[in-house]
Structure 1
């Protein structure tokens, strides 16, 4: 089926229920044109003002970074970006498996149109032409995935919640999460005071990926009382590239891919090393290869047996964040044993 035929059919269907209505200046839709449906105007991460349904019912997400927030809020999308099963909470697997996948590296416009979204949540890495094509299907709100604000995952979650008009509901999730961090910091603060932490992943053969003190993982672990590896931050400052990972902002992010040859210099001062895993505490093949390397095994933290899985380094929402903090508490208990 040709795309223009799909889009025409979708627009006709959506228009029939009044979701493509115009918007007056006060954020309420024109009832005559919209059949009573209301809209509101929000500003997305690109700076664009986007007219969205005031109460969207059929939200499509093009990346799991937005899907998780909807799942956290118990508002599953009608279409979603691709994901790997072990990287999502176990109790979400069945529900997510029933939601059509409408995007992998790029959106599949035909599949996207078929789920009839009234709002599309897109990461800020897509080309303008793709955004324009999707706007023929439904309003497109771009949220922050890459760029200078990448580390602030709570900002991204807030953006998604704002787009779907759920910021009040999000506030309780945030309060509960911060309370848990404070509990752990109070309970274990004396034991880990002055303990230096490093976080590392591996996404390519013969390389490691460093996550620094200004990255999203720091927002999980620093409030618990950890200090950050100064050596890791130094390496990131030296090796970070503004073009990595689809970043189009031109701003270096506080993370860096390095060769294994400089890994020893990057984490030599870390007392504990957290290693990125899935949401089951398992390592993938590349990560295991890094862990098995002579250079990694020679790190002081590895020799002392203080290497632990922590979950995901790219935090999509509060489910990821809570898992990471839970894993950190387990690591702290082990570290206390000496």
Structure 2
């Protein structure tokens, strides 16, 4: 009788032990990067170096940064996007116009976003004033391109999103392809002469140099600067057409802000300006109009950087 009792107790002990092991595995499901459970999280750093705990492979994402949106698209996880500033999408991201409108590109609709109950919100500089309020709704990741290191910070942002969605290998492959294209462009740019980048808005010009929002042309793509003294600022350095003639660039890159936001760009025909025609760029057909929606509304993503490379390559063809 005692032998039977011992056998029963042994079976019960083994059963309890197995149950205890299953319980330990369940508790680990909420730890960073250790489980495929729906409750798994990962801690990443945003562009300010702040650690943010976010869910892995989130299923409901609101994205305000178009560069991040095109990275998610390129990584094949765009179906997770449920909200964006749909009235300010560049043409190449028009397929996302069917998601919920989460507000303006500078002013998120907090009530709408709260209704959507996203798992993750991705923002950049234009929405930075709302970071605290958005963080109260869902984990909010601030990803921005650093003008002082445009390509390096872009890669960091791409890898951050890839880590969240488990797409690290795909991201690395696409980054490697872009770096090959950049190296080729940089070699050709060395013989292109001096370049000047201007933004035109209702006929008014602003110049952008190294370290600026469009500094990738100089800092990454390797075009020499027509003016070494341009002040790096968000809105650029206000200049005149006389200034453009004085600097006499061999290549003049033009970004039409008015066209990007859907305004009247009839005053923005930079290439037709008589002073511009007197520059080396004007004489040699090197006044290059860049895709305004890509350059002004986006940038810093896998798809937008490739579009930028193709755009700028017109100067060296």
TM-score, structure 2 as length reference: 0.72
1:305, distance to aligned residue in structure 2 (A): 2.0
Equivalence for 1:27: 32
- Mapped to 2, the partners of 1:101 and 1:23 lie a distance apart of 36
Do 1:198 and 1:211's aligned partners in 2 also have CA atoms closer than 8 Å?
A: no
Equivalence for 1:80: 84
1:36, distance to aligned residue in structure 2 (A): 5.7
Query: Which structure has the larger Rg over C-alpha atoms?
Result: 2
Equivalence for 1:327: 311
1:115, distance to aligned residue in structure 2 (A): 2.6
SS in 2 for 1:275: strand
Equivalence for 1:302: 282
Post-superposition CA distance 1:180-224 (Å, at most 9, x none)? 3445667xx4xx6532142423243443233324412335632xx
Once the two structures are overlaid, the 10-residue window that deviates more, 205-214 or 57-66, is 205-214
Q: Relative to 1, partners in 2 of residues 1:274 and 1:124: Cα closer, same or farther, differing over 3 Å?
A: closer
Structure 2, gaps ≥5 residues long: 1-26
- Mapped to 1, the partners of 2:194 and 2:100 lie a distance apart of 39
SS in 1 for 2:268: helix
- Mapped to 2, the partners of 1:125 and 1:179 lie a distance apart of 31
Equivalence for 1:96: 96
Q: Say whether 1:198 aligns with 2:178.
A: no
- Mapped to 2, the partners of 1:56 and 1:275 lie a distance apart of 38
- Mapped to 1, the partners of 2:107 and 2:146 lie a distance apart of 15
- Mapped to 1, the partners of 2:274 and 2:112 lie a distance apart of 46
Alignment size in residue pairs? 278
SS in 2 for 1:156: helix
Do 2:190 and 2:224's aligned partners in 1 also have CA atoms closer than 8 Å?
A: no
- Mapped to 1, the partners of 2:124 and 2:77 lie a distance apart of 19
The CA RMSD over aligned residues, in Å, is 3.7
Q: Relative to 1, partners in 2 of residues 1:170 and 1:107: Cα closer, same or farther, differing over 3 Å?
A: same
- Mapped to 1, the partners of 2:113 and 2:312 lie a distance apart of 38
TM-score, structure 1 as length reference: 0.68
1:261, distance to aligned residue in structure 2 (A): 4.0
Q: Relative to 1, partners in 2 of residues 1:44 and 1:82: Cα closer, same or farther, differing over 3 Å?
A: same
